[in-house]
Amino acid sequence: MMLRRFAVLGLALFSFSALAQSETPLAFLQRVKKQTLAYTDQKLSFTSVLNAPGRNGQRVERKTSGEVWVVGESAKLVLQGQTFFFKSGFVTTVSPEDEEIIVRKLDGDAQQYTPAVLLSQYEKSSSFAWAGTQTVNGRTIKYVSMVPNNDPDVAKVTLGIEAKTLKLYSFAEEGKNGTTSTITLLSYETNQGLKAKDVEFARSNYPASYEYIAPKTK
């Protein structure tokens, strides 16, 4: 009887494992993005590494770090001494060094550090493949690589996802010119009770002496 129970248990585990392995990379990414969009708020810190061809065959590497807060469709990004506020199709950039505040329409790359935007890369791709797994600080990271559709600059994008939590861990982009860009999340907290006011621009929070430049309204 005991042997039979172990046999049944083994069969169940095998069936579950086979089912998990049968999930396609695209279906996996769709599931991850659905969960990401369901968070009420997100707070994360990251490092960004740009590696590009330089002179005499040498490569040039540039590292930066930053933080992002997201509530709904609004976001706040702190990067290289500047603060960026994203809302309703516009980005407001606050630069203490230049003592100015600039408002402009949002372009395709400006909000690239938010998880939902990074995950949206799969919507522009047609080729998907599992790219292995890796254990990082006790966490299992699953990698999915994809080839963007008709992109003149990007050859491949690879997303790293924490298997247990389905949270984004890394984003790597390989350019056709040999440039690589990698974003790695150092921390990723969700549903922390952040409010819209925590990520939205307020002119009163900055010195009146800062020059304010915004598009003219008709």
**89-98, pLDDT tens digit by residue?**
899 999 999 9
Question: Is residue 11 a part of any domain in this protein?
Answer: no
DSSP state of 204: G
**Are the C-beta atoms of residues 92 and 84 closer than 8 Å to each other?**
yes
Question: Is residue 203 a part of any domain in this protein?
Answer: yes
Report the pLDDT averaged over residues 8-13: 36
Question: Is residue 9 a part of any domain in this protein?
Answer: no
Which pLDDT belongs to residue 111?
Answer: 56
User: How many domains would you assign to the chain?
Assistant: 1
Q: What is the span of the domain harbouring residue 67?
A: 24-213
Question: Is residue 177 a part of any domain in this protein?
Answer: yes
- Rounded Cα distance between 36 and 190, Å, is 9
DSSP state of 64: E
Question: Is residue 8 a part of any domain in this protein?
Answer: no
Which pLDDT belongs to residue 115?
Answer: 86
Comparing CA positions, the residue from 169, 108, 180, 182 lying closest to residue 139 is 169
- Rounded Cα distance between 141 and 135, Å, is 6
Tokens of 85: 């506020």
Question: Is residue 3 a part of any domain in this protein?
Answer: no
Question: Is residue 10 a part of any domain in this protein?
Answer: no
Q: What is the CATH number of the domain that holds 136?
A: 2.50.20.10
Question: Is residue 5 a part of any domain in this protein?
Answer: no
**111-148, pLDDT tens digit by residue?**
567 888 888 877 777 789 999 999 999 999 999 999 98
Name 147's bridge partners.
Answer: 127
